[in-house]
């Protein structure tokens, strides 16, 4: 695993712990580590002062000895640091298989093939929706044309008896023909073209 991948995993782990607990195991580790280091330094300085007060003639030896003690104590702490992290992680860490309620949407992981299938299905549904919208517009136009034709048929049926009785029938037929030539929607419908 590369260093960047480990950092990404640690970052996600920290965010997850912060979300659930309000703190991270990294914060605890750093706090405990810093506290122990500071405690060792303070106690070493106190030991050094006590030794200097007791054995004032060996100041240089005491200085070297306390510095060596401090270095070795910090080295031991460094070696124990991984164990401390492990203990804190075991005690406070969130198991990798745990899912927070707000992350349940991510519980199902899709394969690349499944994602592609879903994308194709979405595209197919969008295409069907567009076709349905076009069909709806077309049907509305057809309904409008049918309503015009029905209206004309009713008007024609009202005047038809009079037309048969009079010579005006030919004139009305000419008006209807002229109307169909001027109204392309009616012409399309009357010719049977849809």
| Confidence bin at 187 (pLDDT 50/70/90) | very low
| 42 or 58, greater pLDDT | 42
Report pLDDT digits (tens) over 74-111.
999 888 888 888 888 888 777 766 767 777 766 677 88
Mean pLDDT across 124-140: 95
Q: What is the pTM of this model?
A: 0.46
Domain coordinates in residue numbering, the chain = 3-106, 114-190
| pLDDT tens digit sequence for 14-55 | 887 888 778 888 888 889 999 999 999 999 999 888 888 888
Which pLDDT score, from 0 to 100, does residue 91 have?
82
pLDDT at 181: 65
DSSP calls for 24-77 = -HHHHHHHHHHHHHHHHHHHHHHHHHHHHHH-GGGHHHHHHHHHHHHHHHHHHH
Summarize the confidence of residues 109-129 as an average pLDDT: 92
């Amino acid at each position: 695993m590369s260093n960047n991948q480990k950092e990404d995993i640690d970052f996600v782990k920290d965010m997850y712990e912060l979300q659930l607990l309000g703190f991270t195991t990294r914060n605890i580790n750093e706090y405990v580590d810093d506290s122990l280091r500071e405690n060792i330094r303070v106690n070493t300085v106190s030991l050094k002062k006590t030794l200097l007060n007791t054995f004032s003639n060996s100041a240089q030896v005491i200085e070297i000895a306390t510095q060596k003690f401090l270095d070795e104590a910090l080295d031991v702490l460094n070696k124990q640091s991984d164990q401390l992290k492990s203990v804190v992680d075991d005690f406070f860490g969130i198991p990798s298989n745990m899912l927070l309620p707000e992350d349940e949407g991510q519980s199902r992981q899709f394969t690349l093939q499944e994602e592609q299938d879903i994308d194709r299905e979405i595209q197919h549904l969008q295409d069907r929706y567009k076709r349905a919208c076009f069909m709806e517009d077309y049907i509305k136009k057809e309904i409008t044309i049918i309503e015009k034709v029905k209206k004309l048929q009713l008007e024609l049926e009202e005047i038809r008896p009079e037309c048969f009785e009079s010579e005006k029938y030919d004139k009305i037929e000419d008006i209807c023909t002229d109307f169909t030539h001027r109204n392309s929607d009616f012409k399309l419908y009357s010719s049977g073209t849809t």
